[in-house]
Structure 1
C-alpha cells in the first residue's frame, strides 16, 4: 500500500463527488417530473454522504480535502447552462447527467489504474462511487 496513492485516489473521488453534487444542484430547479426530481435528490444525498466518508478518510491519512479545480467547475456550469438554455427539459437534463456519469466512471477507473498502490479501503470507496454513477445512469434511461 502506498499512502500517497491512497490520498490521491481519495482526493480525486472526493472531487468527483463534489462535481456531481454541484451538477445536481444546478439542474434540480429545472426538473419538471416529480419522480425525476426525487431520484436526483436521493442521488445527491448519496453523493454527499459518500463525499463525507471520503473527507473523513482523507483527514485520517493526514491530508487536506481539496475542492475540484475551478476551471473544471466553471466549464461544467457553462456546459450545463448552455445546453439547458437551448433545451430546458427533463430529457436534456437526463442526457447531460448521463454524460457526466459516464465521464465520472471513466475518470475514477483511470485513477484506480493510476494509483494502483492505494489502500483497499480507498479502492472500495472508489468502487462505491462508480456504482453510484452507474445506478444513476440506469435510472435516467427512462427520461432519455
Structure 2
C-alpha cells in the first residue's frame, strides 16, 4: 500500500472515531446534571469538532472522501448509551460510558497507527492528537465515576 493510501486509510478511521465521539457526547450532554461535568463534555465535543474539521481538510487534500462510522458500531454505541442512561440515569453512568468510549477510541486508534505504518506524519499526528484528547477526557471524568 502506498504512503498516500495508508494516510487516507488512517485519516478515514480517525475521522470515523471522531464522529463516534461527537455523536456520543451530543447524546449525553443534555442529561448531565453537574455543571462542571457538562462543561468538560461540551469542551471535549468542541475539541472533537475541531479535530474532525482537520481530518476533513486533510482528506480533501488527498482527494478522498470521509468515512462514516460502521453502522453496526454506531447502532451499538447508541443503544448502549441510551439503555444505560435510561436504566441508571446520572453523571456517574455518563462518566462510565465516556470512559469506556475513550478507552475504545484510544485502543482502536493505536491499532490503526500500527496498521498504517507508512501513513504520513500529518495523518499520524492527527490520530495522536485525538488519542490525547480521549485520554484527557477520560482523566477529566474520573472523579465522577
Q: TM-score, normalised by structure 2?
A: 0.97
List gaps (5 residues or longer) in structure 2: none
For 1:47-126, list aligned pairs within 5 A: 47-126=48-127
Deviation at 1:45, TM superposition (A): 0.2
The CA distance in 1 between the partners of 2:96 and 2:53, in whole Å, is 27
For 1:33-52, list aligned pairs within 5 A: 33-52=34-53
Root-mean-square deviation over aligned CA pairs: 0.8
For the residue of structure 1 that corresponds to 2:67, the secondary structure is coil
For the residue of structure 1 that corresponds to 2:117, the secondary structure is coil
The CA distance in 1 between the partners of 2:87 and 2:66, in whole Å, is 36
Q: TM-score, normalised by structure 1?
A: 0.98
1:31-90 deviations in whole A, cap 9, x for unaligned?
000111111000000000000000000010111112111111111000111111111000
Q: Does 1:28 align with 2:40?
A: no
For the residue of structure 1 that corresponds to 2:30, the secondary structure is helix
Deviation at 1:133, TM superposition (A): 0.2
The CA distance in 2 between the partners of 1:80 and 1:69, in whole Å, is 17
1:79-134 deviations in whole A, cap 9, x for unaligned?
11111111100001000000000000000000000000100111111110000000
For the residue of structure 2 that corresponds to 1:118, the secondary structure is coil
For the residue of structure 2 that corresponds to 1:30, the secondary structure is coil
Aligned residue-pair number: 144
